[in-house]
C-alpha cells in the first residue's frame, strides 16, 4: 500500500537545513507545530505550537512546549501576544484561499517589531504530471541532533518565495531577510 502512495508523489531531491543557530526571540507561536514539532524541539519552553488536527499534535516530538488544537484562520489569542511566529513547512497545507486570512491573523497576534519566520519549498506548476502530490524529504540539524522527515501536499497549487513576499507585504509585513536554499526558501518578516 505504501508503495502505491509513494507512486503518487513527485519528490524533489533530499533537502538539508541546519537550524542550530537560527535566532527566534521571545514567546513563539508555531503555526502547524504538530508532526515532528521541529520548532518545539528547537526552542522548547518558548513555543506555543498550534495545529488544527489533534492527531498531528499528539504525534509531535516530546518536549517542554505547549500544544493547542487551533485553526490559524481564527487564532484565539489577544492582539500582539507573540514576539515571533513561525511556519515550518506548514503553509503548503493551507488552501491558497485561506492564506490572506491566516497572514492577517498572524500579523494581529505578532507584537509590533516582532517577526514572522517562514520555511517552505517551491511548488511548480503541475503541468501534465500524473502525480497527485508534490513533496520533499528533509534532513533537519539541530546541534548534534538530526531529524529525517518528509512533507507532501496536494499538487493543486503553485508557491514560491515571491508569492509569500507579496502576500506578506500586502498585509503590512516588511521582509528583513529572504533566501533560496536549493528548492527551499526562507523568509523573515517584521511587523512594523
Confidence class for position 80, pLDDT limits 50, 70, 90? very high
Q: What pLDDT is stored for residue 181 in this prediction?
A: 92
Q: What pLDDT is stored for residue 1 in this prediction?
A: 43
Q: Is residue 97 part of a domain?
A: yes
d(CA 38, CA 30): 9
Give me Rg for the CA atoms of the chain: 16
* DSSP 3-state percent helix, strand, coil across the chain (nearest 5): 25, 40, 35
Q: Is residue 27 part of a domain?
A: yes
Q: Is residue 16 part of a domain?
A: no
Q: Do the Cβ atoms of 89 and 121 come closer than 8 Å?
A: yes
Q: Is residue 146 part of a domain?
A: no
Q: What pLDDT is stored for residue 61 in this prediction?
A: 85
pLDDT digits (tens, 9 = 90+) for 11-70: 999 999 999 999 999 999 999 999 899 999 999 999 999 999 999 999 988 889 999 999
CATH code where residue 166 lies: 3.40.50.150
pLDDT digits (tens, 9 = 90+) for 149-189: 999 999 999 999 999 999 999 999 999 999 999 999 999 99
Is a pLDDT exceeding 90 seen at residue 139? yes
Q: Is residue 2 part of a domain?
A: no
Beta bridge partners of 51: 69
| Residue 46 domain boundaries | 23-125+156-191
Domain count, the chain: 1
Q: Is residue 95 part of a domain?
A: yes
pLDDT digits (tens, 9 = 90+) for 97-124: 999 999 999 999 999 999 999 999 999 9
Q: Is residue 151 part of a domain?
A: no
Q: Is residue 66 part of a domain?
A: yes
Amino acid at each position: 500500500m505504501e508503495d502505491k502512495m509513494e507512486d503518487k508523489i513527485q519528490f524533489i531531491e533530499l533537502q538539508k537545513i541546519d537550524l542550530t543557530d537560527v535566532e527566534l526571540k521571545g514567546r513563539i507561536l508555531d503555526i502547524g507545530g504538530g508532526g515532528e514539532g521541529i520548532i518545539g524541539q528547537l526552542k522548547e519552553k518558548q513555543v506555543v505550537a498550534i495545529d488544527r488536527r489533534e492527531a498531528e499534535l499528539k504525534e509531535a516530538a516530546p518536549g517542554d512546549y505547549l500544544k493547542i488544537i487551533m485553526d490559524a484562520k481564527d487564532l484565539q489569542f489577544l492582539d500582539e501576544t507573540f514576539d515571533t511566529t513561525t511556519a515550518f513547512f506548514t503553509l503548503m497545507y493551507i488552501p491558497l484561499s485561506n492564506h490572506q486570512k491566516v497572514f492577517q491573523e498572524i500579523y494581529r497576534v505578532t507584537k509590533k517589531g516582532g517577526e514572522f519566520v517562514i520555511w517552505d519549498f517551491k511548488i511548480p506548476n503541475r503541468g501534465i504530471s500524473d502525480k497527485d502530490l508534490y513533496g520533499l524529504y528533509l534532513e533537519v540539524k539541530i546541534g548534534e541532533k538530526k531529524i529525517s522527515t518528509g512533507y507532501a501536499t496536494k499538487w493543486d497549487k503553485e508557491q514560491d518565495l515571491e508569492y509569500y513576499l507579496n502576500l506578506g507585504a500586502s498585509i503590512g509585513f516588511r521582509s528583513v531577510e529572504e533566501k533560496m536554499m536549493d528548492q527551499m526558501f526562507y523568509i523573515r518578516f517584521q511587523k512594523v
